[in-house]
Structure 1
Amino acid sequence: MVVRSNNIRALPSLLLVLPIIVVLLVSLAPCSTSASNSNPSAHNTFIHCLVNHSDSSHPISSAIFTPRNASFTSVLDSYVRNLRFNTSTTRKPYLIITALHVSHVQAAVVCGQRHNLQMKIRSGGHDYEGVSYVAEVPFFILDMFNLRSIEVDIESETAWVQAGAQLGEVYYNIAKKSKGHGFPAGVCPTVGVGGHISGGGYGNMMRKYGLSVDNVVDAQIVDVQGRLLDRESMGEDLFWAIRGGGGGSFGVVIAYKIKLVKVPEKVTVFSVYRTLEENATDIVYNWQHVAPTIDNDLFIRLIMDVVNATQNGTKTLRANFIALYLGDSKTLISLLHDKFPQLGLKQQDCIETTWLQSVLFWTNINISTPLEVLLDRQPQSPVNFLKRKSDYVKKPISKEGLEGIFNKMIELVDTILYFNPYGGRMAEIPSTETPFPHRAGRLWKVQYQANWKTPGKDVADYYIDLTRKLHKYMTPFVSNNPREAFFNYKDLDLGINHNGKNSYVQGRVYGVDYFNQNFNRLVQIKTKVDPSNFFRNEQSIPTLPH
């Protein structure tokens, strides 16, 4: 019996057969020493293991790329989204498995343990610290991009989506079946489903419908024993953990069953700019009181950066208000004239469009562009060197506080702040419903950005230092004890786990920032399902100390 990736709804019926086969394989696999990148015989032994442990009707050989393969570099580079981790000195993987079938994933798990190799799981490559494709120890990459089946069922208002699919593909396939349905997830079309959803997943419909993980009803995962499990067979604890706790700490997520949400046939978007000379301070001050409390159909993101002022040689702060409203422009104009008149929104600022075309707008793609652009797996914008950090704001910031922040940004010049408002549905869902804890009491989430195009350590250090300085300056205005951070905005400044004897202590440092009170439950689940800590990375969930 074969599990076919193009019929993922049939997978649960096979779960009774596969565990028996794979558990036998694991139990027969003897321990061996760690393989070395420079040892050809070790390469051959590992590959032999992969071939032996995959489904013979779906040969794995065509999915294996070693450094000796002419396509190795292009396969590796094709999903690197941060050039900081694509240099000549960056450690390269032992090999790459571009899984074509579920059995390839199972073989990777079995043989990775047998040969004591660290496995990195990559679905889209957008993790900010390159954790899915870089390591300090010998490792291999399990790349999920070929497992990207999407099956939409409008009758049940659900869809099975494999981890290697990208958000643009998901949105396109939903809209192809129904103009009245969508899914609350990120605004970048090339983000991979596996990492995005397993870490929480948020977007511009979260005030209406919550996070991506709040709309997941089932999942399929390969566990440390190589078993293919669904929600029923994995149990509610593990199902809870992989909806916001990071799937890569617990297994390899194959697919999520998502619940579709209703969207109107007509939505409205706008993007308006205001500088300090155009009263940006007062507008931003009022935004923070309005954006988290206004109608749940409206999401207004605030982006702040530094630009040239009208006066020669001076800099000024620019605030960009970019919004999605699940309704028509006339209603939106009336709403904002009543609740947020300081913005001064005009009819000509608004664009009425479809929900799917609004995705293009939010990605800075002309909305008249053919929608098939969402199926392009390479980003429309050039890939940069970058650094990101995050925070949560619980209390409105005074005008004096805002002015200080603006002045600091003008001093630093090359930093950007994103403010993403909460409230609405986000405040209604209990903080323990999923591992994602940042719910009620948070007004907005902060993302710190620095982007640059020039390689070199000195340049990287300069820009990274800028984000750290701004992050430090923001300390009085954000959450504390713990200073909260968003797991999908991976930030190794918060701590690195070397996965040795101090793994739990190291993991707790960043774990409490990301997960607050949910960290302890995640550790307990991790210890139960992966006691040997095979599924690990620099910021994975640790096991309890022995």
Structure 2
Amino acid sequence: MSQEFSRRGFLGSAGMAAAGASAVPLGLGAATGRAMAEPAQAPEGQSVLPGDSRYQTLSQGFNQRWASTPAYIRLVGNDADTVTELRAALDKGLRPTIRAGGHCYEGFVDNDRGVILDLSTLRGVRAARDKFGAPTYCVEGGATNWDVYTTLFRTFGVTLPAGSCYSVGAGGHISGGGYGLLSRRDGLTVDHLVQVDVVTVRGGTVEVTRAHRDDPEASPERDLFWAHTGGGGGNFGVVMRYHFGHLPKPPPRVWLSSVAWSWADLLKHPEDFRRLVDNFGAFFAQHSGEEETVYRGLFSILKLTHWSNGNVVLLSQWDEDDPAPLEEFLAAMEAGLTSRPTVQTNAAGGLFLPYPDKRRQMPWFQATMTLNPSGENQRGKYKSAYHRRRFTGTQIDAFWEWLTKTVPGLDLQQTLVQIDSYGCRINERKPADTAIPQRDSVMKLQYQTYWTDPAKDSAHLAYLSGLYRAVYKATNGIPEIDTDTDGAYVNYPDVDLGTADQAHPAYQRLYYKRNYSRLQRTKKTWDDKNVFHHAQSITLPS
């Protein structure tokens, strides 16, 4: 690998040496991965206080529902700064929260009178070495998806199978598991992770710990590494860097396809809506197992919008030059429908690809640019579900009932159920191999609604909650695990699934399944004072 040196010299923006196993930041011991008591580097960073022109912006994340009044925001500049600031916050009795890209769907980074540790200036992506001396691709915790894709591709010719929204921060995205348009082909983001460099507070000691997948099986460091393969952000410490081993090369070219059906036609032919949803579910139930060979390179999203949006949209990416399998897939989606497909007329979930020719080929990097919206800064609410089988008739009927419902005074044009294809290489891992346990699902659903008027908060929340409960009525209104469904995605958090202060909240089971007890034990080892916590954090074992 070629080396990338930062503007601050050989040690780089976060103190990580760019080459050589002996170049270890902060006096870290190569054998144990534990930090010495005092960092060798000087802290670099700056505090943003109330009254600073940046304060209001940096107090608020992407979702405009959430804002807070922290004592200050610390733009941490390196490991030493994070250690120093975290010690100072704890000495003052200030609760710390951690922010990378600021895209948390709930208010978990909100921090009235506390300290927000903001990683957004730590955006390096470079060649490095892990603590055992092996070459890695190093991604700093504040890097965005676009930082990652741009540098990995242009410098090294590789990529991560991560999300499409360009401004999402790596710090939270990776720790929750991470998936995207190449995941059926290349697995989850964390399937390629080999090491995390984390500022931890163990037994009251603030230090940098380097946890590796090859640490001894029963070691605390091995558990800490495993916890960051889907255990969610803000639970165990401040992730300064992620290290990845072998990474896949992206396809040279891909086909992008955009097909839409007019709601005007679907309202005349309700059976077409039901057939379309069933066709999609049946196809991916058949072609998403770990043994699948033909359609690993197909990622497709069916965007079931509210009728007021105007069109239901099917977006797909196919990674081979021969478009015949893509055309067969599109034909399978249209099978039995009276309504004819048309060109997309309105954006659905931020994406607008009005392709009159149904498909077009372009270089992978340009396609990634095309599919990288983060949407407008609005108010939003989200819910999620993993599906292990095709949709039931009851579920499809619930989609139809709620997406054709009119609520007086409520604009639902930006409300949709997004159904993502899933599985294939993702399903090669066992549930306990990583902290993210859903390893036999064929679809992942994200329920979304967006608006701008704070006065409409309760109405939008009630609508999305009603839709969700109706779809999963057979399992008490939630996507219960080990049934046709298999829980929810920790990176799409939803406080309606319970909070940490409740007895037996559902989120612990729905996000983590049987991996939760190990996460709790890891929490006890590495954060026994519960320094890092939020409404749906990992709780200490009782």
TM-score interval for Structure 1 and Structure 2 normalised by the shorter chain: 0.7 to 0.9
- Which structure 1 segments of 5+ residues have no match? 26-53, 309-314, 365-378
C-alpha distance after superposition, 1:184-213 (max 9, x if no partner): 001100000000000111111121112111
Counterpart residue number, 1:253: 239
Counterpart residue number, 1:166: 144
Counterpart residue number, 2:206: 226
Distance 1:22 1:67 in 2: 33
Q: Residue 272 of structure 1: which of 232, 235, 259 is its match?
A: 259
Distance 1:466 1:22 in 2: 49
Q: Residue 388 of structure 1: which of 363, 370, 382 is its match?
A: 382
**Counterpart residue identity of residue 189, structure 1:** Y
Counterpart residue number, 2:274: 281
Change in 2 beyond 3 A, CA 1:307/1:16: closer
C-alpha distance after superposition, 1:500-546 (max 9, x if no partner): xx7xx46x54211210100001001100111111111111111123x
Counterpart residue number, 1:369: none
8 Å contact from structure 1 (residues 128, 489) kept in 2: yes
Counterpart residue number, 2:429: 429
1:408 aligned onto 2:402: yes
Counterpart residue number, 2:84: 107
Counterpart residue number, 1:14: 24
Query: Secondary structure at 1:182's aligned position in 2?
Result: coil
Change in 2 beyond 3 A, CA 1:81/1:74: closer
Query: Secondary structure at 1:81's aligned position in 2?
Result: coil
8 Å contact from structure 1 (residues 292, 421) kept in 2: no
Change in 2 beyond 3 A, CA 1:3/1:528: farther
Cα deviation for residue 288 of structure 1 reads: 0.6
Q: Which sits farther off after the overlay, 144-153 or 479-488? A: 479-488
C-alpha distance after superposition, 1:357-412 (max 9, x if no partner): 11222235xxxxxxxxxxxxxx5x42001111112223322456424421221115
Change in 2 beyond 3 A, CA 1:9/1:292: farther
C-alpha distance after superposition, 1:431-464 (max 9, x if no partner): 1111111111x231221111001133xx100101
Cα deviation for residue 281 of structure 1 reads: 2.6
**Counterpart residue identity of residue 5, structure 1:** S
Identity of matched residues, %: 26
**Counterpart residue identity of residue 164, structure 1:** G
Change in 2 beyond 3 A, CA 1:184/1:461: same
Query: Secondary structure at 1:485's aligned position in 2?
Result: coil
Counterpart residue number, 1:143: 118
C-alpha distance after superposition, 1:213-262 (max 9, x if no partner): 11112221111132222234762111000111024211110011124212
**Counterpart residue identity of residue 539, structure 1:** Q
Distance 1:194 1:463 in 2: 29
8 Å contact from structure 1 (residues 305, 416) kept in 2: yes
Counterpart residue number, 2:345: none
8 Å contact from structure 1 (residues 293, 423) kept in 2: no
1:182 aligned onto 2:174: no
1:83 aligned onto 2:64: yes
**Counterpart residue identity of residue 320, structure 2:** G
**Counterpart residue identity of residue 370, structure 2:** F
C-alpha distance after superposition, 1:290-329 (max 9, x if no partner): 1343311101111101235xxxxxx97x431111111125
More helix by share: 1
1:202 aligned onto 2:179: yes
Cα deviation for residue 130 of structure 1 reads: 2.5
Change in 2 beyond 3 A, CA 1:23/1:152: closer
**Counterpart residue identity of residue 368, structure 2:** V
Q: Which sits farther off after the overlay, 207-216 or 344-353? A: 344-353
Distance 1:463 1:526 in 2: 35
Query: Secondary structure at 2:65's aligned position in 1?
Result: helix
Q: Residue 487 of structure 1: which of 477, 486, 490 is its match?
A: 490
**Counterpart residue identity of residue 300, structure 1:** S
Q: How does 1:21-60 map to 2 (within 5 A)?
A: 24=37, 57-60=42-45
- TM-score computed with the length of structure 1 as normaliser: 0.79
**Counterpart residue identity of residue 144, structure 2:** Q
- Which structure 2 segments of 5+ residues have no match? 1-8, 267-271, 288-294, 342-354
Counterpart residue number, 1:524: 521
**Counterpart residue identity of residue 119, structure 2:** M
Change in 2 beyond 3 A, CA 1:433/1:56: closer
Change in 2 beyond 3 A, CA 1:4/1:245: same
Cα deviation for residue 152 of structure 1 reads: 4.5
Q: How does 1:458-473 map to 2 (within 5 A)?
A: 459-473=456-470
Counterpart residue number, 2:452: 453
8 Å contact from structure 1 (residues 147, 165) kept in 2: yes
1:74 aligned onto 2:57: yes
Cα deviation for residue 489 of structure 1 reads: 0.4
8 Å contact from structure 1 (residues 4, 101) kept in 2: no
1:262 aligned onto 2:249: yes
Change in 2 beyond 3 A, CA 1:422/1:157: farther
- May I ask how many residue pairs the two structures share in their alignment? 474
8 Å contact from structure 2 (residues 44, 76) kept in 1: no
8 Å contact from structure 1 (residues 270, 324) kept in 2: yes
Distance 1:185 1:2 in 2: 28
**Counterpart residue identity of residue 362, structure 1:** L
- TM-score computed with the length of structure 2 as normaliser: 0.80
8 Å contact from structure 1 (residues 187, 204) kept in 2: yes
Distance 2:115 2:539 in 1: 20
Distance 2:363 2:388 in 1: 33
Query: Secondary structure at 1:108's aligned position in 2?
Result: helix
Distance 1:530 1:6 in 2: 23
Distance 1:21 1:421 in 2: 40
8 Å contact from structure 2 (residues 481, 513) kept in 1: no
C-alpha distance after superposition, 1:165-187 (max 9, x if no partner): 000111111221255x2210011
Q: How does 1:113-128 map to 2 (within 5 A)?
A: 113-128=90-105
Change in 2 beyond 3 A, CA 1:520/1:272: same
Counterpart residue number, 2:312: 319
8 Å contact from structure 1 (residues 303, 321) kept in 2: yes
Query: Secondary structure at 2:479's aligned position in 1?
Result: coil
Change in 2 beyond 3 A, CA 1:529/1:266: same
